[in-house]
Amino acid sequence: MKKTTKYMALFTIPAIIATAPAYIDAAYDWQVENTENLIDQINPFSTTYEYYLNEAKNAYYLLSNYQQNQVRNSTTLFYYLGSNNDHQYVLTTFTNKMTAISARNSTFLRDIEETNRYYHSLTASQQAVIPNYLYVQLQNYMENMTKMKAVQLKLEQLSVQDSSYVYNYESTMQAYQLLPYDFRMFLTPLMNEKKREYETYYSPTNNRAIAQQVINGISKLSTSSSMEQVASVREKYNGLTTLQQNFVSNYHDLLYIEEVLRNTSYGWDPYYEDEKGKPSEYPTNIEVTNKGQMYTIVMPVSKMNRYANTKITVSDTIALSIPKEAVRKTNNDDVLTMTIEEMNEESILFTA
């Protein structure tokens, strides 16, 4: 029995020795694989960045030299280990800059621009460590600042002399109200100034007072006035807003004097003097014929007012005003024919 046992021991010992390296290699492979998996989990965009970086570093340096050589992504680990201090500095600096941005500070807009310049000065790998929520917040700041500057430009460009002033004002104020409060507050002084200007634009008392200055200037002119004097009054009239021009009751005097100065052979027109004194009278020799809902007017051009609108009463509900600019001064033998047809008692069809 002892001999048999001894022989059996001799045969079994080599078997144990032969299998031991295979067992050890398997352990090595598991440790290498675990280290590789940890390195794969390193993500500078994630809040777990520091955790997996430290875990992967510890796991890697617990390996033997042979195992370390087997780690396929060791270069990635070395990259993050070498840049970790730099990335941490970038993250801290950027976070501090974002935290310092406050509408309570006089440097609010300057701080936003400085933080944006700092972000765009970073490399792609440095930008990668910035949390997404901070990046989105910075972009919102920049977009709102761009909108604020656009509204500021619109406010500065508002002019009561523009024909579309009212539309421009209303659209600009709407854009102003859409700005976040922190950005609106920077434009409040300018907005209040433009609001007062808008209210003044619609003030009848103010508009009459300004128009009266031009009325007085026109009343001092005559056909013997110099071109410079007339041009000065014309410039003042053109400088009025549309509402103010409506208050200049003697504007047709300015037009006539300008025409006489351009054509000195005309002299003063006695017909104009008679007509100017009675601008509101309707012509009496214009016949209006009525057939059903159709009104027809046949009128010689020579009977139309030359320096004021020609007004015609068509019916109890319809009145016609023909602008003086529509009268062709060189064709007094022409005849103007107009028809007006009432449509469904709600609208009319006018043909000339």
Q: Where are the domains of the chain?
A: 15-88, 97-201, 210-268, 287-351
Confidence of residue 333 (pLDDT cuts 50, 70, 90): low
Confidence of residue 324 (pLDDT cuts 50, 70, 90): low
Quote the pLDDT of residue 15.
42
Average pLDDT in the 292-308 region?
71
Q: What is the percent of the chain where pLDDT is above 90?
A: 29
Q: Is the pTM of this model over 0.85?
A: no
Please answer whether residues 135 and 121 qualify as being in contact, where contact means their C-beta atoms are separated by less than 8 angstroms: no
Determine the number of helices (DSSP H) and then strands (DSSP E) in the chain: 15, 6
Quote the pLDDT of residue 272.
52
- Is residue 340 classed as helix, strand or coil in its secondary structure? strand
Average pLDDT in the 34-61 region?
88
CB-facing half-sphere around the CA of 89: CA atoms within 13 A: 6
Q: Is the dihedral of CA 190, 194, 199, 200 positive or negative?
A: positive
Is the pLDDT confidence value at 302 over 70? no
Distance (Å, whole) CA 311 – CA 280 = 8
Give the residue, 97 or 323, on which the prediction is more confident: 97
- Is residue 224 classed as helix, strand or coil in its secondary structure? coil
Give the residue, 269 or 36, on which the prediction is more confident: 36
Q: Is the dihedral of CA 42, 44, 46, 49 positive or negative?
A: positive
The two structure tokens encoding residue 324: 């003086």
Average pLDDT in the 108-125 region?
91
Average pLDDT in the 233-250 region?
86
The two structure tokens encoding residue 296: 């027809």
| Count of C-beta atoms within a 10 Å radius of residue 45 | 11
Distance (Å, whole) CA 306 – CA 301 = 9
Average pLDDT in the 237-251 region?
85
Note the pLDDT tens digit of each residue in 143-186. Answer: 999 999 999 999 999 988 787 888 899 899 999 999 999 999 99
Note the pLDDT tens digit of each residue in 197-225. Answer: 888 777 778 788 888 999 999 999 888 88
Distance (Å, whole) CA 177 – CA 151 = 10
Is the pLDDT confidence value at 261 over 90? no
Nearest to 162 by CA among 110, 198, 212, 115: 198
Which range has the worst mean pLDDT, 12-21, 149-158, 285-294? 12-21
R_g of the chain, CA atoms, integer Å: 45
Quote the pLDDT of residue 283.
52
